[in-house]
Amino acid sequence: MIFGELGYYSLIFSILFSILLFFFIYQDYFIKNNNINIKIYSFCFLQFFTIILSFFSLVFSFLLSDFSLASVFENSHSSKPMFYKFSGTWGNHEGSLLLWIAVLSSFLFLFLLNSKKDPKKYRLLTIFFQNILILGFLIFIIKTSNPFEKLIPIPKEGLGLNPILQDPALAIHPPILYIGYVGSSIIFSSSLASMIVNFVSKIWAESIKIWVLISWIFLTLGIMLGSIWAYYELGWGGFWFWDPVENVSLMPWLALTALLHSVIILAKRNIFQSWTVILSIITFALSMNGTFLVRSGILNSIHTFANDPKRGIFILSFLIFLSLLSLIIFFIYQPQKKGNIFFNFSSKEMGIAINNWFMIFFLSAVLIGTIYPILLEVINGKKISVGPPYYNFILTPFLIPFLIIMTISVKMDWIRSSINEKKKELLFLLIFALFFVLMISYFFEEINITVLLIFFSSIFLIFSLFKDFFDFFRNKKKINIAQIISHFGFGLLIFSIAVCSTFSKEIDINLKVGESIKLYNYELKFKDLSMKEDKNFKSIIGNFNLVEANGKIFYFNPELRIYDQPLIMTSEANIKTNFFKDKYIVMNNVSGSDYYNIRFQEKPFMIWIWIASLLIAAGGFLSIILKRN
Amino acid sequence: MIKKIQFGILFLIIISLFYFFSEGLKIDKIFSPQKNIGQKLSNFSAPSIFNNEIMITQDSLKNKKFYMINIWASWCAPCREEHPYLMQLSEENLLKIVGINYKDKKNYAITFLKKFGNPYSEIGSDKNGAISIDLGARGIPESILLDDQKNIVAQFIGPLKKNDYKKIIKIIKNK
Amino acid sequence: MKLSIKKIIILLFILICSISTSFSAGSFDNKIKKISKNLRCITCQGQSIDASNSDFALDVKNFIKIKLNEGLNEEQIYELLKKKYGSWIVFKPEFKYDNYLLWGFPYLIFLIGGIYIFIKIRKKIIKF
């Protein structure tokens, strides 16, 4: 059909426009004026337009189930709900790569429109570097993973989308995550450009702060959606597994969080110039590295794309090329220090330096844990797994000082702050938090010391920010509300995760219809089974009653779904959420018997993990809005 | 000077990462578990499928130069596929085959053997799969070839194929 | 009053350390759970034994149950499984020469970062 051709040829045209753009940038670079040639605007627009056109052609091919395209045939089916046909566009390697490119070029276009105040040469070079990225990915998609590849003869029906991917959270997860990933590309390009034209300054920091914030917000939300999906869909009640694919999205987040802080300090105080540039480069390199690791199939993970070593080599070479390019540019044009700037030990500057120090530590642990198995296998052929116990061991103890320092440094002022004023307040909060933790340890004896300290430090942070928040409403004290919300969210996140993992209860049992069993203070009755048929699956629904000691009954209906295209069985958990805890039941059939395997979990504070992540992102969002006004 | 050293170190790191990753890409990611060839068979004990009183253990492997432990079940389709090779091996009388009947019902297993023949000198029953873990197996069917010292000589994951059959014969004849 | 924050922090650590934290082992089922969470289901991509419902995972859970009943402890079970299936099966990499870099790298970076910040920032810090 027509959309296949349209999409393919628009891609070809966009390559042409990219090449032409290089030429015009070169031409315009040496003309001394303040305005960018209108040709560059128009070709940027054309490039943006053709890529978006190509992307929507693919979307329409999916919506119309055009099975003459290999990517549609392999990942869609005519009986699938419209929403999942739509999201199926990026549920596969080829389509998601096209989405990636679409985001790359939209960011370039937005940058072009929003940077009119900045120097011309800086803008041109940013476009230049961003175009290298776009062209590289365009060649990659055409050479190794063309989403518009034709099939002859045209199949009658598609193979369908893996049912565990048919989930609302996962449907919107990739676009949001990609805005986060790819947002870092413009930071990367502009930091290279600003080094060359010697523009690494307060003004530069102010102008890229918005891009840092946008990618950070979207990355935060993207990671959150991924976790929500894992929690609801994977059927074992966890939301974070330290799986390599999850780590790969966490690493740019950690780098971006560090960058967010160092950009603030650069904008305010004009220090940390080289460091900010290094973080910008690292952030994008990590995003690219993530793409490489996920798509090349080099990892062993729950969620891998279908893979092909040719793709791996291409992205790897491109990544190495970009890393070397930025290394060379950095060492030639390294930002020069201008003058000396001083600050006191107890100041915001110091707080941010410590934040970056810890962030890099967290990052290095996640990075080495993710790539070490690959390195080791190359060196001596040994296969090892690096999983949750490793990360918990390395990261958890460091969260304690991290949170405490965070609490104190949020209260600090720039350059210097008089501690005495704040000492009393902090002392009071400290005692309050201590009291709280002592209560916890009194009621629950089995908690180990690290966890108690995590409780203590996160409560310290939460209380301290709560107090600031309260002061804000009472005395209208001038505070940075966005910062407080994000930091509060972080404290709450760590606290909820600690509560959830310490106090969660879980049990596996085998039950037959009609049986009942006592679990903790509950009684679980397996009433009966019912059947349901939906558009693309049949389901067996278990009806369970969970009776509390006081007689209150919860009705649970976990499902076993049998999808027909492709034929896969999945189990859908049934979760009852309230503000204190989630109750979670999932059932699985036991082969060759009438028994069903029931997994019951009670997870306190689960909902607060999601709320906390939302708060973290909301803080970033608020800071954009407040800045605009 | 310090700048040049820094540059050199980072350059080397990037290049070596390229090397490691590109080598890593070449490694076959298709699931290839560690095989325990050369190791001694771990101790196991399984009640005989015919008589719960009799235990089948590592000591049941005696009086022959070679032994094979074969994990199977009546409900497993690939087991039917490999069964003719097991029958052939037992007819040639070169080695002793001990079966481990995996998560199966006794009468189904017996019907299976009546229908396709019984290549096993003894059959242990593994009701909950724990014995197969004791033997270091990943699933069924799986066959472990042992020498008279009960060292693992070869391990076949998945159904025995014609090549595997030839390999077994070759190993035995060469010794 | 000058050192009061430091004093309080020290006091706090002592207090918390003195809280008797009994590491009770929990029930038998919890023990199986805990062990199976630290094991990889090697026949399913990337899941833990606990999360998986494949035959292999169920077998390993039964195996753990039997071995616990035989009186083996957690570490012995890991060792046993490592011998049979390689260190691929455990999620916690062993602390031995192969993995020194893995275990040491983050701390190394932390140390280098600390020294770097100290050197760089020392010049900038002044007492007002």
Helices (H), A334-418: 348-380, 388-410
Q: Are A388 and C91 in contact (CB under 8 A)?
A: yes
Rounded CA separation A76/A60 (Å):
12
CB-CB under 8 Å, B11 with A327: yes
Size of interface A-B (CB pairs under 8 A): 50
Higher-confidence residue of A416 and A211: namely A211
Whether residue A274 lies within 8 A of chain B, CB to CB, comes out as: no
Beta bridge partners of A600: A507, A585
Residue A483 neighbours by CB distance under 10 Å: 17
Whole-number pLDDT of residue C17: 46
From the number of C-beta atoms within 10 Å of its C-beta (0-12, 13-18, 19+), residue B115 rates as exposed
Give the mean pLDDT of A369-395: 91
Q: Are A199 and A125 in contact (CB under 8 A)?
A: no
- The Cα of B108 is separated from the nearest Cα of chain A by a number of Å equal to 12
Point out the least confidently predicted range of A38-47, A157-166, A526-535, C79-88.
Answer: A157-166
- CATH number reported for the structural domain that contains residue C74 in this entry: 1.10.8.640
- CATH number reported for the structural domain that contains residue B72 in this entry: 3.40.30.10
**Which of B21, B105, B127 to mutate to test binding with chain A, by most A CBs within 10 Å of its CB?**
B21
Rounded CA separation A566/A79 (Å):
11
HSE, side-chain direction, 13 A CA sphere, residue A488:
20
Residues of chain B in contact with residue C86, where contact means CB-CB under 8 angstroms, are 33-34
3-state secondary structure of A476: coil
Q: Which of C58, C62, C85 sits opposite B34 (nearest CB)?
A: C85
Give the mean pLDDT of A127-152: 93
Convert the pLDDT of each residue in A426-469 to its tens digit.
888 888 888 888 888 887 767 788 888 999 999 999 999 988 88
Tokens of A271: 């220090």
Residues of chain B in contact with residue C78, where contact means CB-CB under 8 angstroms, are none
CB-CB under 8 Å, B14 with A320: yes
Q: Which of A317, A374, A383 sits opposite B20 (nearest CB)?
A: A374
Residues 6+ apart with CB under 8 A from A94: A71, A141, A145, A146, A147, A149
Q: How confident is the model at residue B138 (pLDDT cuts 50, 70, 90)?
A: confident
Residue among C86, C121, C73, C106 nearest A360 (CA): C106
Q: Which of C42, C55, C81 sits opposite B33 (nearest CB)?
A: C42
Tokens 């910040």 sit at which residue? C117
Whole-number pLDDT of residue B147: 86
Whole-number pLDDT of residue A300: 62
From the number of C-beta atoms within 10 Å of its C-beta (0-12, 13-18, 19+), residue A531 rates as exposed
Rounded CA separation A238/A228 (Å):
9
Note down the domain range covering B108. 45-174
Q: Tell whether the model's pLDDT for residue A339 goes beyond 80.
A: no
Q: Is residue C32 part of a domain?
A: yes
Tokens of A454: 């995590």
CB-CB under 8 Å, B34 with A298: no
Q: Tell whether the model's pLDDT for residue B170 goes beyond 70.
A: yes
Convert the pLDDT of each residue in A99-114 to its tens digit.
999 999 999 999 999 8
Convert the pLDDT of each residue in A269-320 to its tens digit.
888 889 999 999 999 999 999 888 888 777 765 555 556 677 888 999 999 9
Q: Which of B7, B23, B25 sits opposite A331 (nearest CB)?
A: B7
Convert the pLDDT of each residue in A542-551 to its tens digit.
999 999 888 8
Q: Which of C24, C46, C90 sits opposite A301 (nearest CB)?
A: C46
Give the mean pLDDT of A588-601: 83
Whole-number pLDDT of residue A304: 54
Percent of chain B with pLDDT over 90: 13
Q: Which of C29, C98, C110 sits opposite A376 (nearest CB)?
A: C98
Q: Is residue B80 part of a domain?
A: yes
Whether residue C12 lies within 8 A of chain A, CB to CB, comes out as: yes
Rounded CA separation B133/A615 (Å):
47
CB-CB under 8 Å, C62 with B129: yes
Whether residue C18 lies within 8 A of chain A, CB to CB, comes out as: no
Q: Are A159 and A565 in contact (CB under 8 A)?
A: yes
What is the side-by-side order of every strand in the sheet holding A596-604?
A505-511, A596-604, A581-589, A574-577
Point out the least confidently predicted range of A27-31, A171-175, A285-289, A566-570.
Answer: A566-570
Q: Is residue C113 part of a domain?
A: yes
- The Cα of C108 is separated from the nearest Cα of chain A by a number of Å equal to 9
Q: Which of C56, C62, C86 sits opposite B34 (nearest CB)?
A: C86
Whole-number pLDDT of residue A326: 95
Percent of chain A with pLDDT over 90: 50
Chain A, nearest residue to C89 by Cα: A385
Q: Tell me how many domains chain C contains.
A: 2
Residue among A561, A581, A563 nearest A572 (CA): A561
Which residues of B touch chain C, with CB atoms under 8 Å apart?
A: 31, 33-34, 36, 39, 42, 103, 128-130, 132-134, 136, 138-140
Helices (H), A242-272: 244-269
Angle between the A348-380 and A388-410 helix axes, to the nearest 10 degrees? 170
What ipTM was predicted for this assembly? 0.89
Residues of chain B in contact with residue A320, where contact means CB-CB under 8 angstroms, are 14-15, 17-18
Higher-confidence residue of C19 and B90: namely B90
Rounded CA separation C110/C113 (Å):
5
Rounded CA separation C44/C34 (Å):
19
3-state secondary structure of B149: coil
Residue among A39, A48, A35 nearest A20 (CA): A39
Give the mean pLDDT of A408-433: 80
Q: What letter would DSSP give residue C38?
A: T
Q: Is residue B30 part of a domain?
A: no
Rounded CA separation A274/A203 (Å):
15
User: Is-cis flag, bond preceding A397, omega within 30?
Assistant: no
Q: Is the dihedral of CA A431, A436, A441, A443 positive or negative?
A: positive
- The Cα of C73 is separated from the nearest Cα of chain A by a number of Å equal to 18
CB-CB under 8 Å, A393 with C109: no
Rounded CA separation A71/A60 (Å):
13
Average pLDDT of every residue of chain A: 89
Residues of chain A in contact with residue B26, where contact means CB-CB under 8 angstroms, are 309
Q: Is residue B133 part of a domain?
A: yes
CB-CB under 8 Å, A313 with B22: yes
Q: Is residue B68 part of a domain?
A: yes
Report the alpha-carbon angle A113-A118-A121, nearest 5: 100
Residues of chain A in contact with residue B16, where contact means CB-CB under 8 angstroms, are none
Percent of chain A with pLDDT over 70: 96
CB-CB under 8 Å, A309 with B25: yes
CB-CB under 8 Å, C58 with B129: yes
Which residues of C touch chain B, with CB atoms under 8 Å apart?
A: 42-43, 55-56, 58-60, 62-63, 65-66, 81, 83-86, 88
Tokens of B62: 């005696």
Rounded CA separation A91/A177 (Å):
13
Q: Is residue C103 part of a domain?
A: yes
Q: Which of C42, C60, C84 sits opposite B36 (nearest CB)?
A: C84
Beta bridge partners of A511: A596
The top-scoring range by mean pLDDT among A31-40, A358-367, A533-542 is A358-367
Higher-confidence residue of A484 and A167: namely A484
CB-CB under 8 Å, C38 with A387: yes
CB-CB under 8 Å, B103 with C55: yes
Q: Are residues C54 and C67 in the same domain?
A: yes
Q: Are residues C60 and C76 in the same domain?
A: yes
Residue among C88, C59, A591 nearest B137 (CA): C59
Size of interface A-C (CB pairs under 8 A): 162
Q: Is residue C118 part of a domain?
A: yes
Q: Is residue B11 part of a domain?
A: no
Rounded CA separation A463/A433 (Å):
8
Tokens of A333: 């044009």
HSE, side-chain direction, 13 A CA sphere, residue C119:
5
**Which of C41, C84, C108 to mutate to test binding with chain B, by most B CBs within 10 Å of its CB?**
C84
Element (H, E) at B124: strand B122-126
Q: Is residue C39 part of a domain?
A: yes
Point out the least confidently predicted range of A147-151, A336-340, A614-618.
Answer: A336-340
Whole-number pLDDT of residue C25: 41
Residue A304 neighbours by CB distance under 10 Å: 20
Residues 6+ apart with CB under 8 A from A282: A255
Convert the pLDDT of each residue in A62-116 to its tens digit.
999 889 998 888 888 888 888 888 988 988 889 999 999 999 999 999 999 988 8
Amino acid code (one letter) for A493: L
Chain A, nearest residue to B20 by Cα: A375
CB-CB under 8 Å, A385 with C88: yes
- The Cα of B18 is separated from the nearest Cα of chain A by a number of Å equal to 7
Q: Name the C residues in 22-81 with CB < 8 Å from any A CB.
A: 22-24, 26, 29, 33, 37-38, 40, 45-48, 50-51, 53, 55
Chain C, nearest residue to B41 by Cα: C84
Q: Tell whether the model's pLDDT for residue A263 goes beyond 90.
A: yes
Whole-number pLDDT of residue A331: 92
Amino acid code (one letter) for A323: S
- The Cα of A308 is separated from the nearest Cα of chain B by a number of Å equal to 9
**Which of A308, A320, A334, A364 to mutate to test binding with chain B, by most B CBs within 10 Å of its CB?**
A320
Q: Which of B39, B134, B138 sits opposite C43 (nearest CB)?
A: B138
CB-CB under 8 Å, C16 with A453: yes
Q: Are residues C62 and C84 in the same domain?
A: yes
Give the mean pLDDT of A571-594: 86
CB-CB under 8 Å, C88 with A383: yes
Tokens of A50: 């053709």
Whole-number pLDDT of residue A208: 92
Q: Tell whether the model's pLDDT for residue B96 goes beyond 50.
A: yes
Which residues of B touch chain A, with CB atoms under 8 Å apart?
A: 3, 6-7, 10-11, 14-15, 17-18, 20-27, 29, 34, 75, 103
Rounded CA separation B61/B57 (Å):
8
Rounded CA separation A625/A617 (Å):
13
Q: Which of C55, C62, C88 sits opposite B34 (nearest CB)?
A: C88
Amino acid code (one letter) for A615: L
Q: Tell me how many domains chain B contains.
A: 1
Q: Are B112 and B74 in contact (CB under 8 A)?
A: yes
Residues 6+ apart with CB under 8 A from A20: A43
Element (H, E) at A454: helix A449-475
Convert the pLDDT of each residue in B116-130 to its tens digit.
889 998 899 888 888
Higher-confidence residue of A41 and B28: namely A41
From the number of C-beta atoms within 10 Å of its C-beta (0-12, 13-18, 19+), residue B72 rates as buried
End-to-end CA distance of chain A: 48
Whole-number pLDDT of residue C18: 44
CB-CB under 8 Å, C91 with A385: yes
From the number of C-beta atoms within 10 Å of its C-beta (0-12, 13-18, 19+), residue B166 rates as exposed
Q: Is residue C8 part of a domain?
A: no
Whole-number pLDDT of residue C6: 56
Note down the domain range covering C41. 25-91
Tens digit of each residue's pLDDT, chain C (128 residues)? 444 555 555 555 555 444 433 333 457 788 888 899 999 988 777 788 988 888 889 899 999 999 999 999 999 999 999 988 888 899 999 888 889 999 999 999 999 999 998 888 777 776 55
Tokens of A274: 């080289």
Partner chains of B (3+ C-beta pairs under 8 Å): A, C
Whole-number pLDDT of residue A372: 94
